[in-house]
Structure 1
Amino acid sequence: MSTVMKLSSLQAAEHQIMEDLINAFLAEGLLPIPGNTLIELSAAPEKIRRMMEPYQYGQRAGWQKDQMVGRQEHAIGNKRTFAEEGALEGHWKLDEQRAFSDEKSLGEEGNRSSHAGLLWEDARSKEARQAPKFLVHLEGIVFMVQSSIRQGKQWVQGSPIYTQNTEGDWIMLSTPVAVGHTVLRLALSDEAYAHPGVAEFVDSIETAAEQLALGLEQVDQLHNVKPSNAYEWFIKGERIAALRDRPFHPTSKAKIGFTEKDVRRYAAEFGEKIPLRWVAVRKDVVQQGCEDNKGLSTLDILDEPQRKMVEDAFQRNGIDLKTYMPMPVHPWQLQNIILPRYVAEIENRTIIVLDIEAGQVQATSSLRSMSSVTSSTYMLKLPVSVLSLGAARYLPVVKLLNGLAGERMLRQAIACDDSLTGKVFLCQEQNWWGYMPDDMGLFDDHPRHLAAQIRIYPPELLEEGVKIIPMAALGVELDGRHLLSELLDEELSKEDVVAFYTKLAGLFYDVVMRLFKVGVVPEIHGQNCCVVFRNQQVKGLLFRDHDSVRLHQPYLDKHGIADPAYWIRPGYSNSLYNETIEKLIFYVQSLGTQVNLAAIIEAFVAVYDLPEAKLWDITEQMWKEALHRVQLPEADRAELFRLIFQRQEWPAKLIVRPLLEADGVPGAMPSGKGAGHNPFYIG
């Protein structure tokens, strides 16, 4: 690849992460800097207005041009910032800034919403057609924001960001690393800034940009992939979904522990075949899901010649299948985790490393989940203990046990509503094996790195005329193109896309609220919730990864469904048991709406030039209709209506602050909850 193309990919990656980073800072109260406010652009000093006014409409090309022209690189430790030569046409000094420090700040703008169904001329759409108001932040860092339906305030896409040096001059911050470093230094106390989580977070921003840039190099190649059957559509959807990973999370693409070579080998975007390594594990130290040999064997993912390779390796090592079980291992995991950390087990032959490669898989949008390189409903989940989102991506037995309980409960919940038949599909996740010696516990770190699960997809995955796509793939813009046009195999008008989104949102909320009324919410973010197309029509949802099916036990009791008896780490909070409907609906508000559907809205707006307000109006209406249809106690329905549509604030899932404060507890993905913006509130 040429240097120009690599540079272009890096610029696109940095732009995406810059946007996610600043918006996350705004959403979590790290911006504005504590004690400061946002003022109208028209009230800012003249030089600031001159700097910002050309960017009022998010001129991305202008932002990228500024990255290339007249910037001088300065090293701050091992971080990068850039000073823009002549960008300010004379520097704005510190005393000039202070002259405006007492400007009257703007109150939070009331959010516009519509309760008039899908009418075009509703309150939100009218507001969207008016000239937008732009605000600027002046204290310590200068940047421009505008109102946002999703989160209240958002960075003006592509507009420049400046900070002040010790001489009082303003310099441009041209990378997300520089912005992250500057904002956190200004926003946090000295003690908070010294916390190890802060440095790790800033480092992960840089890694995310580098690894996303590698993935973006594959966009043209992905566009040229023309699936010929249902399975190939599934694989293409997974590869595209991986480009966005967890939408709106600035560090989700960072897989700490992967080199550039590893990313190219093992990330889904590249579609590379991954050869499986194998170890033999003594059966008395293995815990499994399906007891009494009623389930599959790990060898069931192999063809006959490959099985024979494993059996021959057993013979060479003087062991048999009665005493040892064959365990597939990701090649990165074997080299970086098993060989250096399991020395004692290898020496005493509890674990025997087999000198073979048997079977090939390819990565999916979820790093640990592997699809077969040929059409199959059997897929493999393996630990790959890189750090992502503040946690190691291993595969602990406790999660696998909770997956058994979650799947059983979810199947019982689906059976409570006949209308879900043929509309909801589940992966079967009962076939698994994990290293768990008697002298170690479920919450110990050491055994978590050696396990395997065979995930069985429903037969529809391979049926002619069916396409199963992660919803996350619909939240990805492919350099001005979108997967939807390929899925529906036609040139789409704006009306076509609006009609599609209406059907998708209607199905999503209908299914989710019907399960909610029984007392469960499955994994509904776009990575683990897939949309099922049949003959180009949206027909259902497929759920996978059942270890985090959340519940409200009083509703389950009404439907005769017992407590699943999840394993919960003593002394730690959990999100699985929710004592109130307010706590349970939070996951529909956050993961379902503010992440999954919001990412799809963002991509549709960008590619098909749709009015964002229109899609949010549809979202609101589809949720209202679903809430009206489900059988709930009227008092609960009224309370949910208030929580979803009438409260000024929604609870918000925090993604940055928990990482800044993380203490590195093994297996714990840092998470938190705060107060956020309600996209449906009428102010």
Structure 2
Amino acid sequence: MTHVEERPEAPDTAAEGPAGFADRIDRVLAQDLLDALWLEDLYGFRGRATWRTDAAGEAVLSVPVADGAALRWRGARLSGMRALRLSQDGAAVALQHAATCRPLRAVQTLDALQHAPWWPAYSERLAQQLAVAQHQMARTFAAEAALLARVAAAPRSLAAWEAVCCLRDRPFHPLARAKVWPDLPGEAFEVESGRSVPLHWVAVARDALFSGDGAAGADEGRYAAQPVAAALLSEDDYDGLARRAVERCTDPAALWLPVHPWQWRYLQRNRVALALQCVDLGSGPGAAMPTASLRTLSVADGERLHLKLALNVQALGAARTLPPRYLRNGVLAERCLEALRARDAWLGAHLALCGEGAWWALGNAASLIESQGELACMLRHYPAHDGWLLPMAACAAVTLDGRLPALEALCGDPALQTLAGSVPDAPAERAWRVFGRIAHLLIELGLRCFAHGVMPELHGQNVMLRIGADGLQGLVLRDHDTLRICPVLMAAAGVEAPDYAIDRSTPNTLILDAPEALLAYFQTLAVEVNLYAILAALAERYGTDESIGWRIVGQTLRESVDRVFGEGGATALHGCVAQALFDAPQWPFKQILAPLAARASIGTGMPSGLGTIANPLRQEAPPQEVPRR
């Protein structure tokens, strides 16, 4: 192989933060950028890459850019889906031109790529969002100690673990952290601030609202007329809001709704007609804590009730509003999943659902389909359970010094000692055993849903682990509005398809004609995003090859395919599922960067496309013993 002798020094540390902090932030962002370029094969990136070895024996990936120069990424070559684990010493990314080699920051790396002759067109949006992501990442990791202190104070608190999820955000994506608050600053409302969000209240005529079938509320007493306020406020606060409504001459029949304070100011400036449909009841009473999901606030202790509020904040090319058609579809999807729990014993025992039927949206258009949901809210009720809940996204959260707080908590939980092993066991072995159990639960859920013709979005933010006295007992699902269905498969399984409200003027991804399109959502979100993020973090933490994790995933998939598609009427699917998962040379992979760069305007759905990547279960790797589950 060609040897590149010169190794540039690391860039100077930026002024912000303690020494080395900015470099560590930049290295994380550079890794995410390289991962996205490689995994999404952006503009043929993989085919342009060449491999070398430097004088120290590290792998160097080179890609040509403008004026005869080349970008170089240095580190350890990986055998799984990603190309390279960036070196922790010196400059991991550099621009080489003739005899010179200049270290680059992540933002400079993207700029060099965008000026390459093979890059279609310079995207100002990508450049701006990467800069925003870098700023956000610095804020997030500056708050790391406070986030971990919350967990230390309440190690089984869902609200505390929800906050920890921001340390990772969407895996393998450099722009996931880029949250754009148009017109008005909003950083004070993000989870890193550690501050509660005071609720703003408005009164709205009920006949101007779309609402869900759980909107009536459970209270039959004097609070029944105002179910949202009754759910969110103490008796004293409720009475205070009632007095304020009387003072402002509010129609007694109107419904009191909470609005995010940032959103209310945004609507007053930019959606005047919508704001004028409301009687402003002012700020407070009541407050809630932000989570890593911008729209979602945890109420009280955050263990049983979340409040989801519409926001015109932009993330990954989409405004985070709550269109009522999405909310309605979520109710139908929840019913469908409940029906599957009743007919499948495994799902009934291992899957629980959040209740998402209590929602309200002020109509700013004539129809359900057209309404954008810019003033809307949902009460999410968590199912009763023993033990505690942990978002799967937290399992991939990595601290700046490389620790995995959620997996450490799982391995140390007394209820998991039989699974994880005793304390003297090697920590890597214990962690891989816990990962194996997590993989089993998620894979079994996904394949059983596919056998019935449906597929939830099984990424880490939507799925929670349920840990009880007997260890990892099951999963809890939320955000049901993204349940994909394949009517052909549903009919074959004897399952009634939900009557979704679909905007035919936009691409439809909820109703899929082909079974392989439905299976692709399992491969991309459940395996490539959710499980892969955890196994990649584990491999890096313990200095092992990612092939260990892929062997666990592959073995678990084979066991589940044989079990699920060896039952009843599902046997006909066994061959096609096995072929797609184990024999196909390529797997689908969800693309975001190119669709984001190409999007002309902000919508309510995240832009995405579908590419391919080598089947991760067919990668060559040295044989490894698979830790027992």
TM-score of the superposition, structure 2-length normalised? 0.85
**Is contact 2:355-2:380 (8 Å) kept?**
yes
**Is contact 1:523-1:543 (8 Å) kept?**
no
* 2:36 alignment counterpart: 24
State how far apart, in whole Å, the 1-side matches of 2:142 and 2:584 are: 43
Please point out which of 360, 367, 372 is paired with 1:441: 367
Please say if 1:293 is aligned against 2:216.
yes
* 1:306 alignment counterpart: 237
State how far apart, in whole Å, the 2-side matches of 1:304 and 1:386 are: 32
* 1:315 alignment counterpart: 246
Q: CA deviation at 1:504?
A: 1.2
* 1:240 alignment counterpart: 164
Q: CA deviation at 1:163?
A: 3.3
Q: CA deviation at 1:316?
A: 1.1
Please say if 1:331 is aligned against 2:261.
yes
Alignment of 1:283-682 (within 5 A): 283-290=206-213, 293=216, 297-299=227-229, 300-322=231-253, 324-335=254-265, 337-347=266-276, 350-374=277-301, 376-437=303-364, 439-444=365-370, 447-460=372-385, 463=386, 466-478=387-399, 479-483=401-405, 484-489=407-412, 493-535=427-469, 537-630=471-564, 631=567, 633-681=570-618
**Is contact 2:362-2:373 (8 Å) kept?**
yes
C-alpha change, 1:567 and 1:10, in structure 2 (3 Å) is farther
* Aligned AA (2:487): Q
Please say if 1:153 is aligned against 2:90.
no
* 1:212 alignment counterpart: 137
State how far apart, in whole Å, the 1-side matches of 2:471 and 2:148 are: 22
**Is contact 2:42-2:593 (8 Å) kept?**
no
1:610-657 per-position Cα deviation (integer Å, ceiling 9, x unaligned): 442111101110011001101364442111111111111111100111
State how far apart, in whole Å, the 2-side matches of 1:316 and 1:413 are: 49
Name the SS of the counterpart of 1:225 in structure 2.
helix
* Aligned AA (1:514): R
C-alpha change, 1:441 and 1:170, in structure 2 (3 Å) is farther
* 1:93 alignment counterpart: none
State how far apart, in whole Å, the 2-side matches of 1:402 and 1:661 are: 28
* 1:172 alignment counterpart: 102
Name the SS of the counterpart of 2:446 in structure 1.
helix
**Is contact 1:274-1:361 (8 Å) kept?**
yes
Report the count of equivalent residues: 577
State how far apart, in whole Å, the 2-side matches of 1:201 and 1:160 are: 21
Q: Give the alignment's Cα RMSD to 1 decimal.
A: 2.7
Name the SS of the counterpart of 2:519 in structure 1.
helix
> Which stretches in structure 1 are left out of the alignment for 5+ residues?
43-51, 57-132
C-alpha change, 1:320 and 1:55, in structure 2 (3 Å) is farther
Q: CA deviation at 1:375?
A: 5.1
State how far apart, in whole Å, the 2-side matches of 1:360 and 1:309 are: 14
Please point out which of 201, 219, 224 is paired with 1:278: 201
State how far apart, in whole Å, the 2-side matches of 1:553 and 1:573 are: 17
C-alpha change, 1:294 and 1:37, in structure 2 (3 Å) is closer
C-alpha change, 1:260 and 1:6, in structure 2 (3 Å) is farther
Alignment of 1:1-16 (within 5 A): 5-6=17-18, 8-16=20-28
Q: CA deviation at 1:224?
A: 2.9
Q: CA deviation at 1:55?
A: 7.4
State how far apart, in whole Å, the 1-side matches of 2:166 and 2:586 are: 31
**Is contact 2:325-2:501 (8 Å) kept?**
yes
Q: CA deviation at 1:234?
A: 0.8
Moved more, 654-663 or 14-23: 14-23
State how far apart, in whole Å, the 2-side matches of 1:9 and 1:26 are: 26
Q: CA deviation at 1:501?
A: 1.2
State how far apart, in whole Å, the 2-side matches of 1:178 and 1:160 are: 13
Q: CA deviation at 1:606?
A: 2.6
**Is contact 2:215-2:359 (8 Å) kept?**
no
* Aligned AA (2:377): A
State how far apart, in whole Å, the 1-side matches of 2:151 and 2:239 are: 34
Please point out which of 172, 184, 187 is paired with 2:114: 184
C-alpha change, 1:174 and 1:346, in structure 2 (3 Å) is same
State how far apart, in whole Å, the 2-side matches of 1:7 and 1:355 are: 44
* 1:101 alignment counterpart: none
Name the SS of the counterpart of 1:394 in structure 2.
coil
State how far apart, in whole Å, the 2-side matches of 1:526 and 1:476 are: 11
1:52-108 per-position Cα deviation (integer Å, ceiling 9, x unaligned): 44471xxxxxxxxxxxxxxxxxxxxxxxxxxxxxxxxxxxxxxxxxxxxxxxxxxxx
Q: CA deviation at 1:396?
A: 0.9
Name the SS of the counterpart of 1:422 in structure 2.
helix
1:150-198 per-position Cα deviation (integer Å, ceiling 9, x unaligned): 4253364455333367xx6745252221111211221555xx415xxx2
Name the SS of the counterpart of 1:526 in structure 2.
coil
* Aligned AA (1:404): V
C-alpha change, 1:33 and 1:152, in structure 2 (3 Å) is closer
Moved more, 645-654 or 539-548: 645-654
* Aligned AA (2:121): Y
Q: CA deviation at 1:421?
A: 2.3
State how far apart, in whole Å, the 1-side matches of 2:182 and 2:99 are: 39
TM-score of the superposition, structure 1-length normalised? 0.79
1:289-348 per-position Cα deviation (integer Å, ceiling 9, x unaligned): 0278366711121111111122111111111331x111101111112x22112323545x
Q: CA deviation at 1:3?
A: 6.2
Which one scores higher on RCO, CA 8 angstroms, separation ≥ 6? Answer: 1
